[in-house]
A and B are shown apart, each in its own frame.
Chain A
């Protein structure tokens, strides 16, 4: 998952950093199907592209090729997800099509108290996400 870098000046302005520490939690996720790919900013771009390509082409060990894959990107990784999808399409000589959906993901930030008399708080932050379906079409 992408690290969610949002301007947090606004959030922290109202809270005393002496009293609370901000801890970000991972986004709520659904179980992964084999043809779901979550794009992140840490892995090398080429490696992620190759992984998608491999899924579409079918693996070396006799795995059947997927007819469609879903590429998910969150926050900063949206750009990269789009980039991967377009690269796949460009390299396929017209046999691949893309269809994109966008959504909003709720992220939970935990505020851990530093002093005993405070309760832990959580706050919800929204971040945008993209889900790109890359699928095979029979070339005309």
Chain B
């Protein structure tokens, strides 16, 4: 340490050079907190810094700002534009926060914890706050709901809302939503759903309740589509008339805030008095207008759709220790026994339940099942999507005095009939019941929460400090719902990785459960950890990996804009010249053009096989607005041009013949981009991709088709412009990054790979930069104009400057104008792009996920021999080196 401090570099303060364990809080303010030897130096530094410090403009003194009332006001004001989660303050102290999708969300921890979070997911437990996920509730007759929703999903993509085990309420299901009757186009997004179980005591009516959970970016589109399909047009007025009592104060509080600008002492006191009764923390959605309708009813079908966004908290626990954490943090609620309790307790619903024998029996069964979980070492051992309802005690009461790690106990492990039944059949159907489905109970639970302050006071008044607090009947009982999340289920390796439990809580109780989970040893992750989780599970990330749905397109646009800005911030000499590297689209993936290119390429290669007018549609350039191309761009285009024109000329002759036959087909599929999600086709493709997999699979799957021209054509006919989700793992060196290009290897590459052990892949030759001279010319022109302007008078100069600015300036190192033929721009044919890619800590080599064109994939597979089938080349946008990777489609 001495050495470190002695060699202090000039641009760090003394206390910054101390090793981490010797640092103390407020060291920068108080010199005396430093070791005595260093105090001298620090004093000098502090004096220096004091001069440089800017005078802060504050309208209130520190003490006033820290006052609880003012703080609540301020917090309520700040969450008016972006919704804060209940754990916001906790996160804001420890995370890099981002404003996304109308929320303030923690992106990644400020500590260096990438690997630690991965370890938590694999061996321990990672906690995430997913309360920003939106919940839509559908209430109505089962047949009506199913009839309406069946238009929005297809049985081709897997199970739908009507799957038997989901419909009974036993399991959570997941489904891809499309616009009504538009499958396979017009994707809306992936959702998960939970049906309320039928066998609920005291619920005799036939109305079913369905919760659909989805990402906030998808909500608007899904809600609108659902309203149309269910014909729910009339907003329900009852919920508007009774606005949430907790929401209204937030609205009123805007008035005192405005007056705070001029601080008069009188006014201040008045404010305090006024808001003393009504200042309440905003719980739930602070941005929403209370008069806005949140539920809609259908006059014909009787379905009620309501938007339950921010009405519940959703915490996700990932990893094998999540069982230990759950069982040690949560305790089943004690039953109310005595009659005298009835007067004391505010929790009448629980007293009622305790009186009915059915309720007691059910509660005891749920508790028994929950206790069994403690003896199961991983959530992956329980059937996927199992649901367990429970009523628990206030978890703040049995909070351990210190943060510790809940470890599995060997005594809890049992190997008897009960455990076996749980593992095989999952949680029994009746145990899925939870009071969280009941809105009234939930709101009463939220209202009757004992504030942290009161609880702490009661704790401090205990006769024996540190002993258990006994609240008796006043203690809150919280209904919760536990949903098992399956980890990695596809593929062959690392099965069950990343499985865990989701905990649904009524609103207002977020922090009360958050801290106990952390005190049992859960590590918290943010949005970045969520992407890592989905990447290692090889599942598409919402919304980035859904290029065919609106949210995905918007996400890609934003991402490309960010990346472009970041790129432009660097000096031209210090950034890669993408034109020279042969990277046409380094920031976005032009899916439309890619699939279009492949379509026309395949058509050109097999004349007369099939033709339809779709081919004529020149691939449109998505996203970018293009200026008319310049001479250089055209000259660059020339090598690819003859091919395109040849193809077009060819079509011209046969359009008339093919038109009639393919017209209906074109109407069915269109030229629009779609992602292949048909499970049957995916399974077929995945069988074709693996090397020699056909031979191994042949005995068990008799009707697996061979990879023939005919089979390919049948797929291409149905999906002319489709993408397919693939996973890639690097054979040797290399770690891919997003926007990495997936290319088709040539035969020489494969030959060399088989011969040479140390062969990493071919290299792309450098491209010429046709824009360089143009940029130079532009610069000169600008200079000339400037000179001319200087000669002219000032106001005229301003006017002359405008038109040059209006013309889009060329950026050095980026392709401007419309992109030329994407697929054949480089020496290897382009197949697709990577959307997520990194060095994988679980496999120990580079891994990537992305989309490839189905047309291109089939073309490549049919030309490769069985031994090398599925090998592709990857090239990052800023590199000339290709690397070999194996492509796989996991179903």
Residues of A within 8 A of B (CB): 3, 8-9, 12, 17, 21, 23-26, 28-31, 42, 106, 108, 110, 112-120, 122, 124
Contacts and interface: CB of A to CB of B under 8 A. Distances in A.
Contacts of A106: 420
A97 to B, nearest CB: 26
B539 to A, nearest CB: 15
Contact of B378 (A23, A29, A113): A29
A108 B382 CA distance: 10
A24 B495 CA distance: 8
Contacts of B679: 114
A6 to B, nearest CB: 12
Nearest to B380: A26
A23 B383 contact: no
Contact of A116 (B163, B171, B496, B699): B163
Most chain B CB within a 10 A radius of its CB, from A8, A30, A120: A120
B155 interface: yes
Interface in B160-175: 160, 162-165, 171
Interface string B418-460: 0010011100000000000000000000000000000000000
Contact of A8 (B155, B408, B425, B700): B700
A17 B162 contact: no
Contacts of A26: 378, 380-381, 495-496
Nearest to A123: B424
B759 interface: no
A120 B410 contact: no
Closest 9 A/B residue pairs (Cβ): A31-B408, A122-B424, A116-B162, A116-B163, A26-B496, A29-B377, A119-B164, A12-B700, A120-B165
Contacts of B377: 28-31
B617 to A, nearest CB: 35
A113 B163 contact: yes
B709 interface: no
Contacts of B310: none
Contacts, number: 68
A117 B424 contact: no
A116 B160 contact: yes
Nearest to B382: A25
Contacts of B90: none
Contacts of B25: none
B413 A115 contact: no
Contacts of B496: 25-26
Given A26-B381, A108-B424, 7 more contacts: A23-B489, A25-B380, A25-B496, A106-B420, A116-B160, A122-B383, A122-B425
B266 interface: no
Contacts of B572: none
A22 to B, nearest CB: 9
A98 to B, nearest CB: 24
Dominant secondary structure of chain B at its interface with chain A: loop
Nearest to B408: A31
B381 A25 contact: yes
Contacts of A23: 489, 495
A113 B159 contact: yes
Contacts of B489: 23
A25 B413 CA distance: 19
A116 B679 CA distance: 14
Interface string B383-414: 11000000000000000000000011010010
Nearest to A117: B164
B692 interface: no
Interface string B367-382: 0000000001110110
Contacts of A30: 377, 410, 413
Contacts of A9: 699-700
A29 B320 CA distance: 11
Nearest to A106: B420
Contacts of A25: 380-381, 495-496
A9 B700 CA distance: 6
B701 interface: yes
A119 B423 contact: no
A118 B164 contact: yes
Nearest to B487: A26
A31 B163 CA distance: 35
Contacts of A31: 377, 407-408, 410, 413
B858 to A, nearest CB: 23
A116 B380 contact: no
Contact of A120 (B158, B383, B408, B891): B383
22 contacts: A3-B492, A8-B700, A12-B700, A23-B489, A26-B378, A26-B381, A26-B495, A28-B376, A28-B423, A30-B410, A31-B410, A108-B423, A110-B384, A113-B159, A113-B165, A115-B155, A116-B155, A116-B164, A117-B164, A118-B164, A120-B383, A124-B424
B383 A17 contact: no
B876 to A, nearest CB: 28
Contacts of A116: 155, 159-160, 162-164
B699 to A, nearest CB: 6
A119 B167 CA distance: 11
Contacts of B381: 25-26, 28, 108
A113 B164 CA distance: 10
Contacts of B155: 115-116
A17 B159 contact: no
A117 B146 CA distance: 14
A120 B172 CA distance: 13
Contacts of A118: 164
B841 to A, nearest CB: 15
Given A28-B423, A29-B377, A114-B679, A17 B413 contact: no
Contacts of B699: 9
Most chain A CB within a 10 A radius of its CB, from B162, B171, B489, B679: B489
Interface in B493-509: 493, 495-496
A30 B376 CA distance: 8
Nearest to A13: B700
A50 B350 CA distance: 58
Nearest to B385: A120
B729 to A, nearest CB: 14
A20 to B, nearest CB: 12
Contacts of B410: 30-31
